[in-house]
Structure 1
Amino acid sequence: MASTVEKKDNHVVVVTIDVPAEDFSDALQRAFRKNASRFSVPGFRKGKAPMSIVTKYYGEGVLYDDAIEFAATPAYAAAIEEHDLEPVVRPEMDILEISRETGMKFTVTITVKPEVELGQYRGVEVIMPEYTVSDEDVEKELLRIQERNSRLIPVEDRAVQEGDTANIDYEGFLDEVPFEGGKGASYDLRIGSNTFIPGFEEQLIGHNAGESFDIDVTFPEDYANEELKGKAVVFKVTINEIKTRELPVLDDEFAKDVSEFDTLAEYKESLRAKQAESAQKRAEAEFEDNVVKTVVANATVDIPDVMIEQEVDRMVAEQRNQMRYQGIELEQYLEYLGQTLDSFKEHMRETAGNRVRTQLVMETISKKEDIRADAEEIEAEIERMATMYGMKAEDLRERIPAGEDDFVGESVISRKTIELLTASAVKLAQPEEKPEAKPAKAKSTRAKKAKAKDAAPPAADPETTSDGQTAE
């Protein structure tokens, strides 16, 4: 078997492969043995005619489909290994010559993985973010917990106020015609939550339970639904009930009820400690992410369009699965947003390109640094993934098809590569934010004149001479 490679544009190569006559003859024999039972030749029982008779009766081409597969598959694999090629898509094959006497000559057109020219990846300088926890942060978290432990109580003696929860029935009309998605019944709407379009919630304030009235609003110009964006509509609303949120008192008893601490002061300190830990993890995650981005930016790689298209398709499939998990098809979701599948894909191309670029750079670094995953690390990764998915490790192993567990090792190698980059990176202090310079206040003309008058010597009396005598 002989093969040659011709490079084309955009990382496409054409490999020409010659299969010797002897090898192709063997492939024909295998193809005949596979299909012998289905051949019927006059004078022979079905499946009993020899190969020479079958090919004479039907023609040699009757065996080509299987013979090509038997001959081309090992020849293609050998050529890929010989020329150290990494295909990224299924190759396209063209047969140039084929016969028992001459063998088979064919070409495969392949898009191959591009080479990455690495820049600096060890010791890159990256700013380490700093996130501090203020008293205000602690109070906000305490308020969130307080609200989570609150209860709604009915209001009967007043109208809707900011912060209340109004239970409403509503229906929207565009040009006096109900529009899709504009109707709801017994909906609990918290005033001030900005759940509905601007202007809706504010118009509930001042109305009492049992009232029915109209609300006039205009959908924003950037609203997702093309038919409603920028349109003035009318909602017919009925308030069924008004409730207000009663918050528990923030004291030591509250701390005992919601935590293992005996005093509110201790509980606040525990919240501060948790927020500080969370802030540190956030800073470290951002630092790691920025290290990777810096390393990728330092590298040079020309990505074939087909790799980006494949990644877009993967991202669309991920989004489709997420939508189905929520009980909606992706096409329905896009229709609601006023988008087509093509426009959605185009919107994802930049992110897909960044993903592919990052993957290629990380793979190149891991190979250069000879980073590998051993059996113990792979087992630990399965345990980690099982915990993340809320599964038992043995259940996860059973779900991984045989021979398709490479992704576990790749995950380990990827993480170890990022750890290497992060450990060698130089942490720069976050620059202090300079206070904005306040513009100098303009001095009034009156003030300028007053100062000038005070500073200037008194003007000479036109009727007085320089020696103080009066001129006659």
Structure 2
Amino acid sequence: MKSAVETLGPTRAKLTVEVPFEELKPSLDKAYKTIAQQINVPGFRRGKVPPMVIDRQVGRGAVLEQAINEVVPQKYVEALQTHDLQPLAQPEVEVTRIDDNEAIEFTAEVDVRPEITVPDWHGLSAEVEDLTVSDDDVDEQVQALRERFGSLTDVERPAADGDFVTLDLVATQNGEPVDGAEVSDMSYRVGRGGILEGLDDALVGMGAGDDKTFTSQLVGGDLVGQDVEVQVKVSQVQEQELPAYDDEFAQLASEFDTADELTDDVRSRLGNGKRLEQAAAARDAVLERLLDQIEVPLPESMVADELTERRGSIEQQLSFAGITLDKYLEDEGQTQEEFEADLERRVRDAVAAQFVLDEVAGQLELGVDQQELTEHMVRRAQQSGQDPQEFANHMFEHNHIPELVAEIRRGKALAQIVESATVTDGSGNVVDLKNLRPDGTLGDPAEADDEADGDAEPDEEPTQA
């Protein structure tokens, strides 16, 4: 086999492959055998029809086509390996020449991983915001805890913001009920939002037995984005009574004896959460600093596919939250053009980051062992609300394991880049990322060093996934 590569751009290549006929012959013989099993020719048993008869009955061209369809993918992969190309998508293949008994030739245009040079990433510096837990943050958490233990009492007055109502709701268009847009005896907290725009405004002032009709737009189904008439009926109004925040409540709601101890614990847990958020911001800031130093060519088809996927994911999340994209943009103070521009910028940064981290992972020869792969799949399953075993089965059945391995390698590469960087907060304090535990607490540096020493097993090689 002969092959040549033509660079069409930083992320696009064209392979020209010539396959001698002797390399096509095994596939051609296989094609004859397959066709012999599929046709009936008088005087010959099924499967025993000679090639010359098949040529007369079916046509030599049909046999060649079947053989070529089998051999082209094999030779395409061989050509990729010969020229050390890493494809990013399916190729556009064209058979350009068929010389019977001599050779065939085909071309394959494909997006390929760009060649990039990553500068020395050791010692990068970045800045993140200060870690602060305000009294308002604590009060919000305490309020949520009190609401968990609150009780509901019927009231003989119109509903106000924060009240709970029991309601029936039905949407119609042109006098006809909308399929799937009807609920009965639903408990709903006024002001919560997330179902229909205008519902909260309609409920305020309604008492038990009242009904009202208002115009809104559905966020899902066949009529998404269209005006519908919504009739809401209230059968019950309840007010939530919250328990006093005192030592007795602390003993009821937690393992602490006093409200002060519970407050301190709330503040500590909020601090741990904020520390994890700060660490995530630090990783983003360090990676952004590295990307600023590199020009990464991006395949436009890959960017377009990722844009479509991201846009669909956002719209799905908004739909689940009961919010239309137009309403979301209005709340965010963004135009459609600004939203699209911001989304494309984030997608381009994400794709560029993948290429850079893959390059760093390759330089560091980072591997992935079975335990890391299992833990990663469990986390991914939990994030998507799926059963871990079902998630793992799906990943294996659909050959997504290489993608998961790539994600883990990128994460390990980024961790090493961040660990070598200096990250400070807005006040100039160095942010301790090396000793950060998964729960947001900080470990003892001496313990971390001991664990690192204990993990070093020079006689054991990690199992490559």
Name the TM-score class by shorter chain: 0.7 to 0.9
Measured in 2, the distance between the counterparts of 1:211 and 1:50 equals: 86
Query: Aligned match of 1:244 in 236, 239, 248?
Result: 239
Map 1:49-128 onto structure 2 (within 5 A). 49-55=49-55, 58-119=58-119, 121-128=121-128
* CA displacement 1:252-305 (0-9 Å, x = unmatched): 111111011121121111112111111211111211122223223332112121
Map 1:289-438 onto structure 2 (within 5 A). 289-315=284-310, 349-382=344-377, 384-385=379-380, 397-401=392-396, 404-431=400-427
Structure 2 residue matching 1:298: 3-state secondary structure: coil
Q: CA deviation at 1:169?
A: 6.2
Corresponding position of 1:153: 153
Corresponding position of 1:447: none
Code of the aligned partner of 1:34: T
Corresponding position of 1:441: none
1:276 aligns with 2:298: no
After superposition, the Cα gap between the structure-2 partners of 1:139 and 1:377, relative to the gap in structure 1 and judged at 3 Å, is closer
After superposition, the Cα gap between the structure-2 partners of 1:201 and 1:36, relative to the gap in structure 1 and judged at 3 Å, is closer
Code of the aligned partner of 1:268: T
Measured in 2, the distance between the counterparts of 1:37 and 1:191 equals: 71
Are the aligned partners of 1:171 and 1:178 in contact in 2 as well (CA < 8 Å)? no
Are the aligned partners of 2:190 and 2:200 in contact in 1 as well (CA < 8 Å)? no
Query: Aligned match of 1:267 in 256, 262, 266?
Result: 262
Structure 2 residue matching 1:427: 3-state secondary structure: strand
Corresponding position of 1:462: none
Measured in 1, the distance between the counterparts of 2:232 and 2:316 equals: 36
TM-score (normalizing by structure 2): 0.72
Are the aligned partners of 2:153 and 2:239 in contact in 1 as well (CA < 8 Å)? yes
Q: CA deviation at 1:309?
A: 2.5
After superposition, the Cα gap between the structure-2 partners of 1:21 and 1:138, relative to the gap in structure 1 and judged at 3 Å, is closer
Corresponding position of 1:24: 24
Measured in 1, the distance between the counterparts of 2:213 and 2:61 equals: 79
Larger radius of gyration: 1
Q: CA deviation at 1:111?
A: 2.2
Identity over aligned residues, as a percent? 23
Q: CA deviation at 1:129?
A: 2.6
Q: CA deviation at 1:352?
A: 3.4
Code of the aligned partner of 2:100: R
Map 1:125-144 onto structure 2 (within 5 A). 125-144=125-144
Are the aligned partners of 2:190 and 2:203 in contact in 1 as well (CA < 8 Å)? no
Code of the aligned partner of 1:414: R
After superposition, the Cα gap between the structure-2 partners of 1:271 and 1:322, relative to the gap in structure 1 and judged at 3 Å, is closer
After superposition, the Cα gap between the structure-2 partners of 1:392 and 1:346, relative to the gap in structure 1 and judged at 3 Å, is closer
Q: How many residues align?
A: 412
After superposition, the Cα gap between the structure-2 partners of 1:46 and 1:316, relative to the gap in structure 1 and judged at 3 Å, is farther
Structure 2 residue matching 1:138: 3-state secondary structure: helix
Are the aligned partners of 2:93 and 2:107 in contact in 1 as well (CA < 8 Å)? yes
Corresponding position of 2:12: 12
Code of the aligned partner of 2:237: I
Code of the aligned partner of 2:255: E
Are the aligned partners of 1:214 and 1:236 in contact in 2 as well (CA < 8 Å)? yes
Map 1:125-204 onto structure 2 (within 5 A). 125-156=125-156, 160=159, 163-167=162-166, 190=189, 193=192, 201=201, 204=204
Q: Which moved more, 1:313-322 or 1:415-424?
A: 313-322
Measured in 2, the distance between the counterparts of 1:225 and 1:383 equals: 35
Code of the aligned partner of 1:289: D
After superposition, the Cα gap between the structure-2 partners of 1:47 and 1:431, relative to the gap in structure 1 and judged at 3 Å, is same
Q: CA deviation at 1:416?
A: 0.7
Are the aligned partners of 2:6 and 2:13 in contact in 1 as well (CA < 8 Å)? yes
After superposition, the Cα gap between the structure-2 partners of 1:80 and 1:152, relative to the gap in structure 1 and judged at 3 Å, is same
Structure 2 residue matching 1:257: 3-state secondary structure: helix
Structure 2 residue matching 1:401: 3-state secondary structure: helix
Unaligned runs of 5+ in 1: 433-472
Q: Which moved more, 1:391-400 or 1:5-14?
A: 391-400
Measured in 2, the distance between the counterparts of 1:138 and 1:327 equals: 26
After superposition, the Cα gap between the structure-2 partners of 1:28 and 1:321, relative to the gap in structure 1 and judged at 3 Å, is farther
Measured in 2, the distance between the counterparts of 1:161 and 1:334 equals: 28
Q: CA deviation at 1:101?
A: 2.7
Code of the aligned partner of 2:368: A
Measured in 2, the distance between the counterparts of 1:305 and 1:290 equals: 25
Aligned-residue RMSD, C-alpha:
4.5
After superposition, the Cα gap between the structure-2 partners of 1:314 and 1:193, relative to the gap in structure 1 and judged at 3 Å, is closer
Structure 1 residue matching 2:396: 3-state secondary structure: coil
Code of the aligned partner of 1:303: L
Unaligned runs of 5+ in 2: 218-222, 330-336, 429-465
Structure 2 residue matching 1:107: 3-state secondary structure: strand
Measured in 2, the distance between the counterparts of 1:119 and 1:242 equals: 64
Measured in 2, the distance between the counterparts of 1:210 and 1:367 equals: 68
